Structure 1
Amino acid sequence: MSDGVRTVERVQTGVRLEKSLLKVLRGLAEYLDISLGDLLEGIALHALEGGSAFAGKPDLLKAIERLKLVYGMDYGAEAAHRLIDNGEDGK
């Protein structure tokens, strides 16, 4: 494919995410006018190559900071693998 477009098969997943993180991601997808799935795929693909989907984009990073404030996301990457469920949903 010369234009870089690929036809893929997507699957529905039941991924669980922290509530405020999900709100920020949904807000960011809306801000970028893309689907949440597209946003997550882009973030993952960049990360798998050792990069960041937002590197060198200060305006986008500012938008993310605003979304984090709006949705009460008061943590960053330092919390990775350190978030525990509060047990409300029994899972």
Structure 2
Amino acid sequence: MAAERKKIERVQTVVRIEKRALKVLKALAAHHEIGLGDLIESIVLHNFEGKQPFGPASLAFIAQMRAAYRLDLTASVSHMLSEY
């Protein structure tokens, strides 16, 4: 039996994000055939529970996209970014 769908209210928002990171997120959303907002929502909900949102196949795809878009940023620098 399928799980019951949850009724939610979504809001439109404007979020600024590093250009290459956005390219990787868009590629990952397209790869999974879901919208960018749905992908971000899923990542957030998984992380709020301390769970890894991606399996080995998705992580391999992410690594390929990070290389393709030259995304060299890591979590260790996430609080040290500045715009030019």
Tell me the TM-score normalized by structure 2: 0.91
Q: Percent identity?
A: 42
Instruction: Supply the distance in 2 between the matched residues of 1:52 and 1:84 (Cα, whole angstroms).
Output: 27
Shift, 1:53, TM fit: 0.3
Instruction: Supply the distance in 2 between the matched residues of 1:83 and 1:10 (Cα, whole angstroms).
Output: 29
Instruction: Supply the distance in 2 between the matched residues of 1:62 and 1:3 (Cα, whole angstroms).
Output: 29
3-state SS of the aligned residue for 1:81? coil
Letter in 1 for 2:61: A
Q: Tell me what 2:13 maps to.
A: 13
After superposition, what is the alpha-carbon deviation per residue over 1:56-77, rounded to whole angstroms, capped at 9, x for unaligned?
x211111000000111101221
Q: Tell me what 2:79 maps to.
A: 81
Name the Cα RMSD after superposition: 1.2
Instruction: Supply the distance in 2 between the matched residues of 1:4 and 1:15 (Cα, whole angstroms).
Output: 30
Instruction: Supply the distance in 2 between the matched residues of 1:77 and 1:52 (Cα, whole angstroms).
Output: 14
Q: Tell me what 1:28 maps to.
A: 28
Unaligned runs of 5+ in 2: none
3-state SS of the aligned residue for 2:83? coil
Q: Tell me what 1:46 maps to.
A: 46
Letter in 2 for 1:37: G
